[in-house]
């Protein structure tokens, strides 16, 4: 029953994330105003708003103007549901939790998964990491540090998280300064700070490792397929977001595996 609820909840949140991706850049209210078709602006009806199902039943086209609906919509909904479900299995112990901390950590993970999905999609499309996503996420990361520490306010770990934020931001700030903004953008600097606050130092290193590996693979694929050239820019935010999610889930086992080799 819990799995069904989480999948449904993830689909609903994914649908809401699509609204955020569409409205945040234009500073539109995400609470007021009915959902509408981006092409014809027609207000969507009740049966147009079911995550994934509406897309399938409508054949991927708007009911009113018959223009194609972006594949982004069902993909974001499905990805959110899948990642929320994975987070449940990662953060809730088998057999159930004995206190409320695992559920708070799960809620924290769901929030940052949602933020990373927005960053992934918007930077992939527009080559821009929105401050309206980064800054609230940094605030939430600061407020939820006790959850990262399992409620233990140990000074060495506490300051280690801030060190990770400084190193994460400084790593990209150095690249930004040396390249004069050609290698990375200002959004990547802020993203580095956020990653450090979410993941801590070890988690940050895991996230950066996967971000650069995945980024290199996709860059080579784009060049080999002649979709990009060596001179073309490629947004790095999606890879940082992907690395962050991987590290959020599996940083500890990955680090243990590394040191066992």
pLDDT by residue (tens digit) across 196-214?
999 999 999 999 999 999 9
pLDDT at 40 over 80: no
In a domain, 188, yes or no: yes
Task: Please tell me the total count of domains within the chain.
Answer: 2
- What does the pLDDT average to over 223-232? 75
> Is the same domain home to 61 and 108?
no
- How high is the pLDDT of residue 33? 64
> Is the same domain home to 51 and 142?
no
- How high is the pLDDT of residue 52? 86
pLDDT at 122 over 70: yes
- How high is the pLDDT of residue 244? 98
Task: Give 13's contacts (C-beta < 8 A, 6+ positions apart).
Answer: 80, 84, 110, 114
- What does the pLDDT average to over 118-134? 94
Structural domain ending residue among the three candidates 23, 58, 91: 91
The more confident residue out of 48 and 111 is: 111
> Is the same domain home to 106 and 73?
no
- What does the pLDDT average to over 180-199? 93
49 contacts 15 by C-beta, under 8 angstroms: yes
Euclidean distance between CA atoms 76 and 255, whole angstroms: 29
> Is the same domain home to 199 and 114?
yes
> Is the same domain home to 1 and 79?
yes
Euclidean distance between CA atoms 18 and 83, whole angstroms: 16
- How high is the pLDDT of residue 155? 60
CB atoms within 10 A of CB 23: 15
25 — pLDDT class (breaks 50, 70, 90):
confident
Q: What single DSSP character describes residue 68? A: B
Euclidean distance between CA atoms 47 and 194, whole angstroms: 38
For 185, the domain range is: 101-261
- What does the pLDDT average to over 141-157? 72
pLDDT tens digits, one per residue of 88-118:
999 998 877 677 788 999 999 999 999 999 9
The structure tokens listed for 160 are 């280690």
Map residue 43 onto helix, strand or coil: strand
The more confident residue out of 120 and 93 is: 120
Task: For the full predicted model, state whether its pTM sits above 0.85.
Answer: yes
pLDDT at 154 over 60: no
In a domain, 107, yes or no: yes
In a domain, 207, yes or no: yes
Structural domain ending residue among the three candidates 91, 111, 126: 91
- How high is the pLDDT of residue 62? 79
The per-residue DSSP string of the chain comes to: -HHHHHHHHHHHHHHHHHHHHHHGGGT--SSSS--B-TTT-PBP-GGG-STTHHHHHTTTB-TTT-PBPPTHHHHHHHHHHHHHHHHHHHHSPTT--SSSHHHHHHHHHHHHHHHHHHHHHHHHHHS---HHHHHHHHHHHHHTHHHHTTT---HHHHHHHHHHHHHHHHHHHHHHHHHTTSSS-HHHHHHHHHHHHHHHHHHHHHHHHHHHHHHHHHHHHHHHTTSS-TTS---SHHHHHHHHHHHHHHHHHHHHHHHH-
- How high is the pLDDT of residue 12? 94
- How high is the pLDDT of residue 151? 53
- What does the pLDDT average to over 128-142? 95
In a domain, 96, yes or no: no
> Is the same domain home to 113 and 218?
yes
């Amino acid at each position: 029953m819990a799995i069904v609820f989480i999948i449904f909840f993830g689909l609903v949140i994914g649908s809401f994330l699509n609204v955020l991706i569409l409205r945040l850049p234009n500073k539109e209210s995400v609470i007021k105003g009915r959902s509408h078709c981006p092409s014809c602006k027609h207000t969507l009806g009740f049966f147009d708003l079911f995550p994934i199902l509406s897309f399938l039943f409508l054949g991927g086209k708007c009911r009113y103007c018959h223009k194609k609906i972006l594949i982004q919509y069902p993909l974001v909904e499905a990805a959110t549901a899948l990642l929320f479900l994975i987070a449940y299995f990662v953060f809730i112990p088998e057999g159930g939790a004995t206190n409320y901390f695992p559920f708070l950590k799960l809620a924290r993970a769901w929030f940052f998964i949602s933020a990373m999905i927005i960053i992934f999609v918007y930077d992939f499309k527009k080559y821009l990491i929105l401050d309206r996503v980064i800054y609230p996420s940094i605030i939430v990361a600061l407020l939820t540090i006790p959850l990262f520490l399992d409620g233990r306010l140990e000074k060495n770990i506490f300051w280690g998280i801030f060190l990770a934020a400084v190193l994460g931001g400084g790593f990209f700030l150095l690249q930004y300064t040396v390249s004069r903004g050609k290698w990375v953008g200002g959004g990547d600097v802020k993203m580095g700070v956020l990653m450090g606050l979410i993941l801590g130092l070890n988690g940050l290193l895991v996230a950066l490792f996967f971000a650069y590996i995945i980024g290199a693979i996709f860059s080579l694929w784009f060049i080999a397929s002649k979709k990009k050239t060596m001179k073309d820019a490629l947004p790095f935010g999606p890879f940082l977001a992907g690395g962050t999610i991987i590290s959020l889930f599996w940083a500890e086992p990955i680090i243990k595996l590394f040191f066992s080799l």
